[in-house]
């Protein structure tokens, strides 16, 4: 993991589950898991002590951002001048269809985006498989081989694909 965490200790209260703590403390579950390796977070009982990331956490990928109520991923991307694909690359466990207000994500910095952008391309408006293949002198079969998780129908504007 690229993030170096400062943390504090937290004592589990009676009847409290890890998802309650994550929501109440507004921290990312993946960060809690990384800080508490070897701890069975699903079976916590009152009195157990876990580590929670502090708000002053810093990350090489970028800065932490707390999602506001009713804020869309699209609005976050525009506000921070990043693509949705950049957000997803920096937050591999983030589900854009199931997030909550107060959830913490990483807003990728320009150095992180640059390292990702060297081998990736974001499909532009009006581009399709044929135009991309012509533009980069690549066979469609090679492009599909490099992007096994993307179906041909998903080659649309805004999709990040690997070309090399």
The sheet carrying 58-59 orders its strands as: 3-4, 58-59, 62-66, 104-108
Given pLDDT bands bounded at 50, 70 and 90, which one contains residue 66? confident
pLDDT band of residue 80 (cuts 50, 70, 90) is confident
The pLDDT of residue 127 is 81
- Provide the 3-class DSSP secondary structure of residue 22: helix
Tokens of 63: 């800065």
Do the domains 1-57 and 119-162 sit in the same CATH topology, yes or no? Answer: yes
CATH 3.10.350.10 fits 119-162, yes or no: yes
Instruction: Please state the length of the chain.
Output: 164
Q: For residues 106 and 120, what is the distance between their CA atoms, to the nearest angstrom?
A: 19
* Run of H or E residues at 142: helix 140-146
The pLDDT of residue 39 = 93
Superfamily of domain 1-57: LysM domain (3.10.350.10)
Q: What is the mean pLDDT of the chain?
A: 81
37-46, 49-58, 112-121, 126-135, range with the lowest pLDDT = 112-121
Please state, in angstroms and rounded to a whole number, the distance separating the CA atoms of residues 120 and 143: 11
Find the largest Cα–Cα distance for the chain. Answer: 62
Q: Which CATH fold would you assign to the domain 60-117? A: Membrane-bound Lytic Murein Transglycosylase D; Chain A (3.10.350)
Q: Where are the domains of the chain?
A: 1-57, 60-117, 119-162
- List, for residues 43-52, the tens digit of each pLDDT value: 999 999 999 8
């Amino acid at each position: 993991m690229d993030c170096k965490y400062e943390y504090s200790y937290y004592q589990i209260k009676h009847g409290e589950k890890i998802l309650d703590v994550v929501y109440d403390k507004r921290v990312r579950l993946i960060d809690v898991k990384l800080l508490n390796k070897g701890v069975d977070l699903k079976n916590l009982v009152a009195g157990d002590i876990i580590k929670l990331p502090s708000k002053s956490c810093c990350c090489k990928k970028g800065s932490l951002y707390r999602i506001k109520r009713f804020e869309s991923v699209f609005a976050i991307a525009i506000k921070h001048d990043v693509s949705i694909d950049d957000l997803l690359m920096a937050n591999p466990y983030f589900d854009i269809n199931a997030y909550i207000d107060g959830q913490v994500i990483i807003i990728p910095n320009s150095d992180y985006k640059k390292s990702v952008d060297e081998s990736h391309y974001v499909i532009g408006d009006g581009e399709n498989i044929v135009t991309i293949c012509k533009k980069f002198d690549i066979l469609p079969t090679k492009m599909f081989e490099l992007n096994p998780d993307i179906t041909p129908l998903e080659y649309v504007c805004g999709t990040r694909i690997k070309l090399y």
